[in-house]
Amino acid sequence: MQFSDIGYIIKAQPHAESSVILTVLTSQNGKLTGYVKNGLSKKRLGIYQIGNSVNINAYSRLEESMYSLHIDLLQSNVVAFLGDEKRLSSLSSLCELCNICIPEKDNIEGFYNKVDDFFKHIHEDNWLAYYSYFEFYLLDYLGIGLDLSECAATGAKNNLKYVSPKSGKAISEEAGKPYASRLFAYPQYIVQHNVHPKMQEINETLQMTEFFLNKNFFQLHGLKFPENRASLRNKILNLR
């Protein structure tokens, strides 16, 4: 079995004396893990950094065997993260969530675009908005997406302001006002495809996605919520 693809490195670890085992999120072949022979050579070591955009040539004799990978660097993203604690924290969180939540070789073609958007906009001022889109659509990919089309209580499609932590459905301002302190804020900017939201809106969305990821995926599968994601909002939003 042999194919070529493009993608992002989301995990790298030394193997034996000179090789590297990589996990790569690819455009057409999902998440895959393979080894790079002699990947620890000084000449090529800089290629195998998480977040780097790479071209992948993968080969395996048997479908169930680990791939042998040949990697060529397309874009080094390390400069965007080194020296910036907020960006580095978001990169660590994104890679960890992808490593845990996405099965090997699963079809992620639509979701991959959200990961791609994050990296393509990492140098821009609104990069954090793209990270929040990543988490929101990760919920959708996992089959636990939110229903934001109408009010769960009244069926109204206008003036939606909250999201229920129990059902993951939208709630109108009128219906939710008495319970506002127990509801999440409606992610209006995501529904409207606005990539320049206020920081408060991003904070509210990340608070909501964290809750649903933990409740409906990690706890459901008996997994511990990743520590680097649990501390993300404190680091990037300077919360106390």
Query: How much is the pLDDT for 79?
Result: 84
Averaged pLDDT, 65-70: 88
Q: Percent of the chain, pLDDT > 70?
A: 98
Reported CATH class of domain 2-76: mainly beta
pLDDT in tens, 37-63: 877 777 777 899 999 999 999 998 866
**Across the strands, what pairs with 33?**
23
Query: How much is the pLDDT for 18?
Result: 79
State how far the Cα of 40 lies from the Cα of 13, in Å rounded to an integer. Answer: 10
The CATH 1.20.1440.120 domain(s) of the chain lie at 83-237
State how far the Cα of 21 lies from the Cα of 36, in Å rounded to an integer. Answer: 6
CATH of domain 83-237: 1.20.1440.120
The CATH 2.40.50.140 domain(s) of the chain lie at 2-76
Q: In terms of DSSP bridges, do strands 53-59 and 2-15 run parallel, antiparallel, or are they unpaired?
A: antiparallel
Q: Which residues contact 173 (CB under 8 A, 6 or more apart)?
A: 159, 160, 161, 162
pLDDT in tens, 113-135: 999 999 999 999 999 999 999 99
DSSP assignment, residue 26?
A: E
